[in-house]
Structure 1
Amino acid sequence: MQPMLSTAVKAARRAANIITRASQDTNLLQIQHKDHNDFVTEVDRAAEATIIETLLDAYPNHAILAEESGQQGDSEYQWIIDPLDGTTNFLHGFPQYCISIALVHNGQLEQGVIYDPTRNDLFTASRGQGAFLNDRRIRVSKALKLADALIGTGFPYRDFTHLDTYMGMLRDVLQKSAGVRRPGSAALDLAYVAAGRFDGFWEIGLNKWDIAAGCLLVKEAGGLVGDFQGDDSYIDSGNIVAGTPKVFAQLLQTLAPHVTDALKA
């Protein structure tokens, strides 16, 4: 395992210890509302602090972009961190959440870790070295047709600007696929595409920390990732489509009639 990836795994496991202990009694947690349906707890902050401390102990000159504490430092290396993707699930005892850590070097994704502490599923990827689940090589599924594909998604829950657009997308994908699921953690959804548990995924308006590690996993597992036009702006725009090569193309085609000018920007 690459040294930087190994450090990220160590950081994720340390954060998972904090999250797992807190999950035993979430009623004791202090919860703040950042926005409508957007929660943060002291667990998010403690997990993030542990991740940052672990990373900067090993690489003190690296920059950080983290969900709760924002951006710090200036370096050609930047760690992108979501300490608890799926906070709402976590607060309700719904076991679908994870830690997501990615490393970008000069704008290119190099390392990715997604760790699901409820299942002890550790997804890792290094650019050009493949994707792994608990040290076992993973590949996207062999799905060739959207009609046979299980698709993951995340519907709007904070910003409803594109709600009508999304509902049109959902209606068409429901009719043309084998099924649609919305588990509530975009990072894990992308990891599931990489592992062949989903055949495709799409969502509107995600953040970098939601998708950075997962995008690398999908690509290293042989899948494709793009924005709604199939291009590479997804990390910045947060509008993302991912899947097996065949399903990716068919999913793009299905979504295309609903893509507004605002979603092309």
Structure 2
Amino acid sequence: MTSATPIDDRMIARRLAAARAIAEDAAALAMAMRPPPGGPTGTTKGMQDYLTETDGAVEKLIAERLNALYPEDGFMGEEAGSRRSGTLTWVVDPIDGTSNYARGRERWCISIGLMHGKLPVAGVIHAPALHEIYTAQRGHGAFLNGKRIKASDIADTRTAMVEMGWSPKVTPDVYAKHMRAFMSLGVMPRSCGSGALAIADVACGRQEAYLELVINLWDVAAGMVLLHEAGAVTSPFLEIGGLTGGALLFTAAPAIAGELARAAEVALD
């Protein structure tokens, strides 16, 4: 997918550096507000769909800092419903993996993506409880804590690990159908509660694929740059409705992407 108006790489690089610094401050706030291990805190927006005080506080911090630095940029945030148009648009999930965060678990993150029109061009995924920061700029590589990453080289599905996100918008029968299809290939299935970190795991080779039948742009905007730069294969998420609502996302290591996609009955870019 391309955008019509050229952009200056240096402009994107400066914004990526700013986003990383803002993500670190947002992570410190989230860690300070993090609940202790135990039953979930906060409220629910729906079945297994949690909302904590931290979600709003972190999004507010990120939105205010980005607006102060780049008032001409657009902004899309998950929680406050903030929308502002611009040639460049920030797409933010303040706490991805809120169900984990609300229970004092470690697998959650802050995701800040930058879009140029319909094209993801930069992103930061900061998982402070895991001490991990992923960064990527289109055309300049993907990194974990400053070290370049790439998708897995595994070519045998019998040694592959695949994550499938759970959503109340998907019926149990459909979810089970896809899990059975993967397991018939000898795949090890799992579900860990953060779409952004599942994407990051594919980008750095910790797992070979990730399937989410309904996911939103704020969950994946940063991660899609990671995937592109790490050499992973993805489905056409943006083209099938991901820009404006929930859509299917599938991504996989290149050597087994085709086989897994056929099993899951999904198209690839």
Structure 2 length as normaliser, TM-score?
0.88
Partner AA of 2:78 in structure 1: E
Q: Which residue of 2 aligns with 1:68?
A: 79
1:254 matched residue in structure 2 = 263
Of 240, 248, 262, 1:233 maps to 240
**Are 2:175 and 1:183 aligned?**
no
For 1:252 and 1:234, the matched residues in 2 are separated by 19
User: For the residues of structure 1 that align with 2:71 and 2:181, how far apart are their CA atoms?
Assistant: 48
CA displacement at 1:234 relative to structure 2: 6.5
Shift of 1:177: 3.3
Q: Residues 227-259 of structure 1, C-alpha deviation per residue, up to 9 Å, x if partnerless?
A: 49xx94373452011011122111111011xx7
Cα distance in 2, alignment partners of residues 227 and 173 from structure 1:
20
Matched, 1:78 2:89: yes
SS at match of 2:256: helix
Which residues of structure 1 form unaligned runs of 5+?
A: none
Instruction: Say which SS state the counterpart of residue 245 (structure 1) adopts.
Output: coil
* 2:6 match: none
Over 6 Å off, 4+ runs: none
Work out whether residues 165 and 193 of structure 2, in 8 Å CA contact, stay in contact via their aligned partners in 1.
yes
What's the Cα RMSD here?
A: 2.2
- In 2, the alpha carbon distance for the partners of 1:43 and 1:211 equals 20
Partner of 1:125: 136
In structure 2, what is the equivalent of residue 12 of structure 1? 23
SS of residue paired to 1:246: coil
Q: Note if contact 1:152-1:189 (Cα within 8 Å) is conserved in structure 2.
A: yes
1:101–1:177 CA distance, 2 compared to 1 (3 A): farther
For these two proteins, the number of residue pairs brought into alignment is 254
**What corresponds to 1:159 in structure 2?**
169
Q: Percent identity?
A: 32
> Does the aligned pair in 2 maintain the 1:7–1:54 contact within 8 Å?
no
Q: 1:5 to 1:176 in 2, by over 3 A?
A: same
- Separation of aligned partners in 2, 1:30 and 1:176: 39
1:78 deviates by: 0.7
- CA shift, 1:24, in A, is 5.1
**Where do residues 1-265 of structure 1 align in structure 2 (5 Å cutoff)?**
2-23=13-34, 25=36, 31-156=42-167, 158-160=168-170, 162-227=171-236, 232-233=239-240, 235-236=242-243, 237-256=246-265
